[in-house]
C-alpha cells in the first residue's frame, strides 16, 4: 500500500475500461490506520468527495466512481471502527459525514450505468475484433501479417500529456479553469446565497448547476438513508477484510539523513490502469516543531516579531511570452479534454500525480519571511491549490497565524486555515518553512510534521528554504517504503530523536513529481492578525 489513500493515475494510461466490480474492489485497496486522529480521516472523507466531483465534471467517470465509493466505504465501514468513534464529541461530525455519503450513493447510482455501458461496449468491440482476426488468420494464414494498431474506438476521450513537455499548456489550463471556478463562486455570492447554503451545495455536488437548484436540499427526501447506509455497510464490510496488512519496515542501525538520497529508479514498474488518490483538502497541519540545532536568537542583532505584510499580495504578472502564446479558446482548454500522466512513482511503484509549482512562490515567501529570518526566527506557510486534468496546481500561499522562535514555528488558530480553504474550494497540498541559519534538510521533527500531510495525500510536498546555505532550498517527500511507515510507526516521545532508516526522504523536484511552471499565477493570503 502506498499510504492511507493511494495516489491517482490517469485512467487513460490504459485504453481498457474497468467494470464497476473491479473499480469497487480498487476503491477498497488502501491502508486504514487507527492511529491517525478521527478528525483527519473526516477531513480526508471530505477531500475524497471534492476530488470525485472534479473528476466527474471533467468526464472521468471511473475515477469519480472510485472516489465516491471510497468515501462511502471509509465513512461507513472504517470510521465506524475508529477508537474515537465512540466519543460523544465526535457524534455530530460522524453524522455530517454520513449525510455526505448520501450524495455519494446518489452519484454512484448515476455513474454506474454509464460505466457499465462503456465496459460492455469495450468487451463487445474486443470480441468482434478478436473474431475478425481469428477468421483472417484461418483464411489467410499464408499472407503477410499486417501490423496491429490500437482501435480508436477503445481510446479514452482525454488526451494524455507529459507534464515536463506541456508546462505552457498547464499554465493556460490552470488560468482558465481557476478563473472559471472563481467566477462561479462570485456569482453564487452575488446572488445572495448564504455561505451555509453555498457550502451545502458544494459538498452536495451542486457546484456547477447551482442556478437551477432551489433552496431545498434537492437530494431525494423520500430516500431511506439509514437503510441504504446499512446495506452498503454490510456489502462493503464483506470485502474490507480481504486487504493485506502493512508490514513494518526494516530499520537500519545507521542514522544519517541531512543529505537528500537519490530517488529510486522505477523505469520497470508497470503503471496500474486506475489507482486513485484521495487526499485531504482540510487536513490539520501538525504544529511545526523545533529543529535539531538550537541557534542564538540575537545572531542578527534584532529582537521581537517582524511587522506583518498586507493581507493580499498580488502574484507577479505573467511573462510576455506566455501572454502572447495564449491563443487557445476556452473550449479548447476544457480540462476534460486533457489528462496529465503521472510523472513519478512512489518506491513501491504507485504513480504520483504531477504537482505544478509557481517558480516565484519561493521568492515571495522569502520576502515575507525576511524580517523573521533577520531575527533568526522561523516562518511557515501552507501550500494550497486545486485538481485540474489529473494534476495538482499550487495557486495560493497561505501564511497562517503563528508563533516563532529561533528553532520553532507553530501554527495558531488552525480552524481559520480550513475555513478559508473551504470557502475558496482549495486543497492543502503541502507546506513551506525556513531554516534561517541551518542547512537545507528535513530534521526528525520535520519528518513527523510532513508525515501528517503525506499520509492523507501522497503527493504532498515540504519545501525547505535555507537562504544562508547552499543549496538554499529543496522540495521533499517521504519515501514509501520505507520512510512514511517508519515515521508513522515511530513511538519515540523525545522532542529530538533520530530515525535510523537511511532512505527516509527524497527529492520531489529533481527528479520527482513536482514541476516548476513559469507564469503559473498564485495569490498570497496572510491570516496573521494585523496583516
Domains in the chain, CATH or no CATH each: 14-131+152-157 (1.20.58.80), 344-526 (3.40.140.10)
Of 303, 445, 315, nearest to 380 by C-alpha is: 445
* Residue that the C-alpha cell 472504517 belongs to: 78
Those residues with Cβ within 8 angstroms of residue 429's Cβ, 6 or more apart along the chain or in another chain: 279, 355, 383, 384, 385, 392, 394, 457, 459, 460, 461
SS3 285: coil
Q: How far apart are CA 24 and CA 18, in angstroms?
A: 10
Q: Give the pLDDT of residue 268.
A: 33
Tell me the pLDDT tens digit for each residue of 457-469: 999 999 999 999 9
Q: Give the pLDDT of residue 195.
A: 56
Tell me the pLDDT tens digit for each residue of 353-392: 999 999 999 999 999 999 999 999 999 999 999 999 999 9
Measure the CA dihedral 369/372/377/383, to 10°: -20
H or E stretch covering 121: helix 91-139
Query: Hey, CA dihedral for 247, 253, 258, 262, is it positive or negative?
Result: negative
SS3 363: helix
Of 91, 7, 79, 14, nearest to 42 by C-alpha is: 79
Query: Hey, CA dihedral for 74, 77, 83, 84, is it positive or negative?
Result: positive
Tell me the pLDDT tens digit for each residue of 274-329: 333 433 333 344 454 444 443 333 333 334 444 444 443 444 443 333 333 445 55
Other CB atoms within 10 Å distance of the CB of residue 193: 15
Tell me the pLDDT tens digit for each residue of 126-174: 888 888 877 767 665 544 443 333 333 333 457 789 999 999 999 999 9
Query: Model pTM?
Result: 0.69
Q: Give the pLDDT of residue 34.
A: 87
Cell numbers at residue 312, please? Answer: 493580499
Q: How far apart are CA 44 and CA 38, in angstroms?
A: 10
Q: How far apart are CA 25 and CA 304, in angstroms?
A: 56
H or E stretch covering 393: strand 391-399
Q: How far apart are CA 406 and CA 229, in angstroms?
A: 51
Those residues with Cβ within 8 angstroms of residue 136's Cβ, 6 or more apart along the chain or in another chain: none
192 Ramachandran zone, left/alpha/beta (phi>0; psi -120 to 50): left
Which stretches of the chain drop beneath a pLDDT of 70? 1-15, 136, 138-157, 192-331, 495
Q: How far apart are CA 240 and CA 222, in angstroms?
A: 29
Q: Give the pLDDT of residue 452.
A: 85
Q: Give the pLDDT of residue 310.
A: 41
Amino acid at each position: 500500500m502506498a499510504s492511507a489513500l493511494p495516489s491517482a493515475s490517469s485512467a487513460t494510461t490504459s485504453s481498457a475500461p474497468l467494470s464497476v466490480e473491479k473499480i469497487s474492489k480498487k476503491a477498497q485497496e488502501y491502508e486504514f490506520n487507527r492511529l491517525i486522529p478521527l478528525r483527519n480521516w473526516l477531513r480526508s472523507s471530505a477531500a475524497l468527495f471534492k476530488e470525485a466531483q472534479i473528476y466527474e465534471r471533467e468526464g472521468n467517470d471511473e475515477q469519480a466512481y472510485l472516489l465516491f465509493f471510497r468515501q462511502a466505504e471509509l465513512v461507513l465501514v472504517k470510521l465506524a471502527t475508529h477508537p474515537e468513534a465512540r466519543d460523544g464529541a465526535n457524534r455530530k461530525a460522524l453524522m455530517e459525514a454520513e449525510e455526505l455519503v448520501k450524495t455519494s450513493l446518489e452519484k454512484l447510482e448515476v455513474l454506474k450505468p454509464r460505466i457499465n455501458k462503456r465496459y460492455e461496449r469495450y468487451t463487445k468491440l474486443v470480441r468482434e475484433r478478436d473474431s475478425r482476426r481469428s477468421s483472417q488468420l484461418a483464411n489467410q494464414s499464408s499472407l503477410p501479417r499486417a501490423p496491429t494498431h490500437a482501435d480508436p474506438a477503445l481510446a479514452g476521450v482525454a488526451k494524455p500529456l507529459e507534464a515536463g513537455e506541456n508546462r505552457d499548456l498547464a499554465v493556460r489550463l490552470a488560468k482558465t479553469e481557476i478563473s472559471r471556478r472563481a467566477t462561479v463562486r462570485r456569482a453564487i455570492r452575488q446572488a445572495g446565497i448564504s455561505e451555509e447554503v453555498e457550502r451545502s451545495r458544494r459538498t452536495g455536488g451542486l457546484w456547477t448547476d447551482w442556478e437551477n437548484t432551489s433552496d431545498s436540499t434537492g437530494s431525494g427526501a423520500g430516500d431511506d438513508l439509514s437503510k441504504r447506509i446499512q446495506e452498503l455497510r454490510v456489502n462493503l464490510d464483506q470485502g474490507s477484510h480481504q486487504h493485506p496488512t502493512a508490514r513494518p519496515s526494516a530499520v537500519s542501525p545507521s542514522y544519517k539523513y541531512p543529505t537528500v538520497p537519490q530517488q529510486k529508479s522505477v523505469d520497470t514498474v508497470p503503471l496500474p490502469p486506475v489507482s486513485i488518490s484521495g487526499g485531504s483538502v482540510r487536513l490539520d497541519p501538525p504544529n511545526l516543531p523545533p529543529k535539531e540545532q538550537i541557534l542564538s536568537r540575537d545572531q542578527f542583532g534584532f529582537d521581537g516579531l517582524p511587522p506583518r505584510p498586507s493581507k493580499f499580495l498580488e502574484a507577479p504578472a505573467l511573462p510576455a511570452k506566455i501572454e502572447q502564446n495564449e491563443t487557445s479558446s476556452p473550449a479548447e482548454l476544457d480540462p476534460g479534454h486533457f489528462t496529465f500522466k503521472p510523472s513519478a512513482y512512489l518506491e513501491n511503484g504507485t504513480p504520483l500525480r504531477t504537482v505544478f509549482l509557481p517558480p516565484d512562490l519561493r521568492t515571495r515567501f522569502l520576502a515575507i519571511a525576511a524580517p523573521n529570518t533577520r531575527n533568526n526566527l522561523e516562518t511557515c506557510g501552507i501550500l494550497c491549490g486545486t485538481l485540474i486534468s489529473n494534476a495538482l496546481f499550487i495557486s495560493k500561499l497561505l501564511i497562517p497565524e503563528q508563533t516563532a522562535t529561533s528553532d520553532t514555528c507553530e501554527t495558531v488558530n488552525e480552524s481559520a486555515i480550513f475555513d478559508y480553504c473551504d470557502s475558496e474550494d482549495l486543497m492543502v497540498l503541502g507546506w513551506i518553512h525556513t531554516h534561517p541559519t541551518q542547512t537545507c534538510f528535513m530534521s526528525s521533527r520535520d519528518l513527523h510534521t510532513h508525515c501528517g500531510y503525506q499520509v492523507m495525500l501522497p503527493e504532498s510536498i515540504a519545501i525547505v528554504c535555507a537562504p544562508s546555505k547552499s543549496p538554499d532550498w529543496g522540495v521533499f517527500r517521504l519515501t514509501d517504503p520505507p520512510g512514511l511507515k517508519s515515521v508513522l510507526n515511530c513511538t519515540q516521545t523525545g522532542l529530538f530523536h533520530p530515525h535510523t532508516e537511511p532512505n527516509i526522504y527524497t527529492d520531489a523536484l529533481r527528479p520527482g513529481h513536482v514541476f516548476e511552471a513559469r507564469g503559473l499565477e498564485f495569490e498570497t493570503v496572510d491570516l496573521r492578525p494585523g496583516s
